[in-house]
Amino acid sequence: MIDYNKYPLPARKRHHTNSSYYIPIKDLKVIPAGYPKVIDNIDWRDYFLNGVSPSKLDIGCGRGLFLLTLADKNKDTNILGIEVRQWCCDWLDNYIKNENIDNCGILRYCISNGLSFINDGTISDIFYLFPDPWVKTKHNKRRAFNLDFLLEVYRLLSPGGKLYLASDLIEVHQYHKDILSMFNKLTYSEIISYKDWNLPFTNKELFCKRENIQYYRIIAVK
């Protein structure tokens, strides 16, 4: 369990950040201050004690309950959390370093710029859980989940590797299914039973359970 008395979350932080941070840099006419650095290469020694590249990715890890729990349950596996919001990354980086979690790293990054710094076929699991929905039609372009994203997922996953998706909005869930069907290179199924999911809870998932909000899950396999 995370000790929030020892590691209090920053007060009054907005859930969302600058909307331009979600858009690939090539599509921006003006790059806003604070835009996440575009990365070509990474020295994994800066993120993991053993210096080995990650085999699991938590994309949009937010406040990190899922990320930290997963790392604790898989101590021999390097897990990288990717998040666009600076305050989340700062809080998680402080927690990871002070608690000496050697197999967990946090990277502030916009995944819409691609993940070329990770080698082909090296990832066993990618988690994309409860992403910002951007429900207004004019904001759909800010959704990272698209055909380009799935091309990166397919490149990164090892044979039999899995992409996990979750959302509490039926329209986002349907959107995920539509894009997966268009891509047509991953076999996916909707998950109803928790025993078929068998993953730690996210912060948002716990909120949904407390408030009795329905949510939807998908596993896609390479």
Catalytic residues, by residue number, are: 132
Burial class (CB in 10 A: 0-12, 13-18, 19+), 126: buried
SS3 204: helix
Question: Among 135, 188, 185, 141, which Cα is nearest to 165's?
Answer: 188
Q: What is the helix (H) or strand (E) element at residue 174, kind and residue range?
A: helix 170-183
Handedness of CA 171, 131, 30, 155 (dihedral sign): negative
Handedness of CA 138, 143, 149, 150 (dihedral sign): negative
Residues facing 79 on adjacent strands: 56, 104
- Strands 56-59 and 123-129, how do they pair? parallel
